[in-house]
Amino acid sequence: MIRVAAVGDVHMDADLLGRYRPALQELPGRADFLLLAGDLTRHGTVAEARCVVKEFSGIGVPVIAVLGNHDHHSDEADAVVQTLTEGEISVLEGASIVVDTPGGRAGIAGVKGFGGGFAGRCASAFGESEMKAFVRTTEASADALCEALTGLDTDIRIALTHYAPVPDTLAGEPPEIYPFLGSYLLGEAIDAAPATLAIHGHAHAGTERGMTPGGVRVRNVAHPVIKQAYSVFNVEC
């Protein structure tokens, strides 16, 4: 059994330092690694990224992250990634990482993802160039996730995204904003691999549990949803 800890949407800044740390220091006895499902910062600044490092690094287990939309807001995403990486937090974007645990080998593939909506109520790459660019961004992200997942030869495969791959975990959010919270294309990529578990954030008013059409468990770990420093999922190999 592999123990997966995960949280998203922690939105770190200096005023939140110490909020998560006491619980994080207990992680080595509870989980094999920690996944951060995007929106690590409030506005995507390097100063905020340093707060993420101070809070989440050096906790005794590997920490693996994807960025969220907030982490791109200040147009400093590359510098944010560099800061996190220097702080020993692995950041995935169309890439994967393997963690060897006592229970088996876990492969994590990650992308931020993007919007577009879900089957029957989704955008398509038709019409204005702006709309085509919007949808093609999601298509490229989903393709990168699928490639990263299928390239893993591990006991379990975990898909880590910020945007939601299914509408199930958005229940509680206004339906009008579903297209800005995720895309069915991410779910198709997860099913194609297939993944063992999918983790995402972004939907603060959403629901924790969902499932892809192919039967992969999906968990929304946005902090406002789980209301704790992290959730732990036990995954059988």
131 close to 182: Cβ distance less than 8 angstroms: no
- pLDDT tens for the chain, residues 1 to 237: 999 999 999 999 999 999 999 999 999 999 999 999 999 999 999 999 999 999 999 999 999 999 999 999 999 999 999 999 999 999 999 999 999 999 999 999 999 999 999 988 888 888 999 999 999 999 999 999 999 999 999 999 999 999 999 999 999 999 999 999 999 999 999 999 999 999 999 999 999 999 999 999 999 999 999 999 999 999 998
- Specify the pLDDT at position 175: 94
Query: What is the CATH number assigned to the segment(s) 2-235?
Result: 3.60.21.10
Q: Which residues contact 100 (CB under 8 A, 6 or more apart)?
A: none
Domain ranges of the chain: 2-235
**Global confidence as pTM:** 0.97
pLDDT score at 179: 95
**Token pair of 122, please?**
């989704």
Residue 181: closest CA among 129, 144, 218: 218
What pLDDT was estimated at residue 223? 98
